[in-house]
Amino acid sequence: MSVRTGARSGYTIGVEWELLAGLEDEEQRRVLASCVRRRFPRGQVVFHEGEPGESMHLLERGRACVRMSTGLGESITVAVLGPGNFFGEQALVSSTDRRSGTVEALEPVETLALTRSRFDELRRDHPEVNDLLVRALDARLREIGARLVEALSETADKRVLRRLADLAEIYGPGTPTTIVLTQDDLATMAGTTRPTANRVLRGAQDRGVIDLARGRIEILDLDQLRRMGL
């Protein structure tokens, strides 16, 4: 697909937006042209848990993590997002929405932000973009359901390996791939403890699948990593 630039957001249609896949090209252009570009340096918070939500973000460049608070007041990492992902979609549903998590830039990040007021205008003038919201909520529910089934049916070891393979896809393509994330982050993403994650990672390192260093994990053999997670 050729690259085009939107006057409002400066978007490029070359990004594969998973959320927009079901819309016609012209509908995609309308949505993207209604967005406002936002830039966040590494370490900056896009929004905080508990804040009022007023916009959804389409992630165009860079990677960001989603963190949530536990009942004990701890902050855990629940997801890492890469280009083509989206977050903050609940803000398009209700004016009383409060952010359910904190999103932080792991590296320089650029998003296209779609405010609720602008989305309401789009829905009024172009009802077909309602599919955007339906797809966003459906995707989130499917993701939650899949993680719940996995948590109930798979061992912690497999969950660690699968989350690592997921991260390799986000940070890839190709190998070796360096993932700049701590073992604590990976453990909470897999719903387990750091000692368990460390044991699984050490085992994968002994098999030559990964290499470990402080604050990073290098994937050396993604195919083997996927097989280990089956």
Of 113, 226, 118, 89, give the one whose Cα is nearest residue 162: 226
Q: In what order do the strands lie in the sheet with 102-105?
A: 45-47, 102-105, 64-69, 75-81
Classify residue 4: in a domain, yes or no.
Answer: no
pLDDT of residue 175: 72
Classify residue 2: in a domain, yes or no.
Answer: no
| Residue 220 tokens, joined | 């050396």
pLDDT of residue 14: 59
Classify residue 5: in a domain, yes or no.
Answer: no
Classify residue 11: in a domain, yes or no.
Answer: no
pLDDT tens readout for residues 3-39: 333 445 555 555 778 788 878 889 999 999 999 999 9
Residues 144 and 178 in one domain: no
Residues 48 and 132 in one domain: yes
The 8-class DSSP code of residue 53 comes to: P
Q: Which helix (H) or strand (E) covers residue 83, if one does?
A: none
Residues 146 and 220 in one domain: no
pLDDT of residue 230: 87
CA 192/CA 93 separation, integer angstroms: 32
Classify residue 105: in a domain, yes or no.
Answer: yes
Look up the domain containing 83 and give its range.
18-150
Of 61, 44, 154, give the one whose Cα is nearest residue 102: 44
Q: Which residues does 30 contact at the CB level (< 8 Å), separation at least 6?
A: 122, 126, 129
Q: Are 122 and 34 in contact (CB under 8 A)?
A: yes
pLDDT of residue 11: 52
| Residue predicted with more confidence, 209 or 1 | 209
Residues 142 and 170 in one domain: no
Residues 29 and 121 in one domain: yes
CA 114/CA 136 separation, integer angstroms: 13
pLDDT tens readout for residues 146-196: 999 999 999 999 999 999 999 999 998 777 899 999 999 999 999 999 999
| Residue predicted with more confidence, 8 or 57 | 57
Classify residue 3: in a domain, yes or no.
Answer: no
Residues 71 and 93 in one domain: yes
CA 223/CA 115 separation, integer angstroms: 40
pLDDT tens readout for residues 107-152: 999 999 999 999 999 999 998 898 888 889 999 999 999 999 999 9
Provide the number of structural domains found in the chain: 2
Nearest 10 degrees: Cα torsion 165, 183, 144, 85: -60
Q: What is the overall mean pLDDT for the chain?
A: 90
* pTM for the model: 0.89
Residues 30 and 96 in one domain: yes
At which of 150, 171, 200 does a domain end?
Answer: 150
Residues 121 and 188 in one domain: no
In degrees and rounded to multiples of 5, residue 58 shows phi and psi of -100, 120
CATH number of the domain residue 181 falls in: 1.10.10.10
Classify residue 10: in a domain, yes or no.
Answer: no
At which of 105, 128, 150 does a domain end?
Answer: 150
Q: Are 192 and 160 in contact (CB under 8 A)?
A: yes
- Residue 46's pLDDT band (cuts 50, 70, 90): very high
Residues 64 and 30 in one domain: yes
Has residue 95 got a pLDDT over 90? Answer: no
At which of 108, 127, 150 does a domain end?
Answer: 150
Classify residue 9: in a domain, yes or no.
Answer: no
Q: Which of 11-20, 46-55, 63-72, 90-99 has the lowest mean pLDDT?
A: 11-20
Q: Are 210 and 217 in contact (CB under 8 A)?
A: yes
CA 172/CA 189 separation, integer angstroms: 19
Residues 182 and 76 in one domain: no
Q: Where are the beta strands (DSSP E) in 20-105?
A: 36-40, 45-47, 55-61, 64-69, 75-81, 86-87, 102-105
CA 56/CA 88 separation, integer angstroms: 4
CATH number of the domain residue 119 falls in: 2.60.120.10
CA 141/CA 73 separation, integer angstroms: 25
Share of the chain above pLDDT 70, in %: 94
Residues 22 and 95 in one domain: yes
pLDDT of residue 4: 35
Residues 167 and 97 in one domain: no
pLDDT of residue 5: 37
